[in-house]
Amino acid sequence: MATLKYSRQRESIKEFLMTRKDHPTADVVYENMKRIYPNISLGTVYRNLSLLADIGEIRKLPSFGGVDHFDGRIEQHSHFMCNKCCKVIDMESENLDHLLEDAGKDFNGEISDYSVRFFGICEDCLKTENN
């Protein structure tokens, strides 16, 4: 694999994602990067996000609720999206590794990864509903 040229913008994008737990979209990353690099374009941000995801430094959650979200947390974990406020939350207490085994039973290829998405109403929205 060719060594990537160091890019300060790409480093900043990665650092920004590491500080966020809310799985921002490219637009949100762009808005925040513009404060540091006023001339940065959405295209540059998007390209760097895709690149970082390709080399495994971040995770891309493609088309989650119709739009790509990005995650600075790269170890295996699942996500929940609220149908009301569209926020994407990490699911902590679960072990879905059996999914890999089950999926592999009648499958002759090689499975290396999986991604699970849960949908429903988040805690905050439930509270507002019940008030």
Chain positions contacting Zn ion, by CB under 5 A: 71, 73, 82, 84-85, 90, 122, 125
Task: Specify the residue, 42 or 89, whose C-beta has the smaller distance to Zn ion.
Answer: 89
Task: Specify the residue, 24 or 40, whose C-beta has the smaller distance to Zn ion.
Answer: 24
Contacts of 4 by beta carbon, 8 Å cutoff, 6+ apart = 51, 55
Task: Specify the residue, 68 or 71, whose C-beta has the smaller distance to Zn ion.
Answer: 71
Quote the CA–CA distance of 61 and 23 in Å, as a whole number.
8
Closest separation between CB of residue 16 and Zn ion, Å?
15
Quote the CA–CA distance of 36 and 118 in Å, as a whole number.
34
Give the residue closest to Zn ion by C-beta.
Answer: 82
Among 113, 117, 91, CA closest to 103 = 113
Closest separation between CB of residue 18 and Zn ion, Å?
12
Strand-strand pairing, 67-71 and 59-64: antiparallel
Closest separation between CB of residue 111 and Zn ion, Å?
20
Beta carbons of 70 and 58 less than 8 angstroms apart: yes
Task: Specify the residue, 36 or 85, whose C-beta has the smaller distance to Zn ion.
Answer: 85
Closest separation between CB of residue 87 and Zn ion, Å?
5
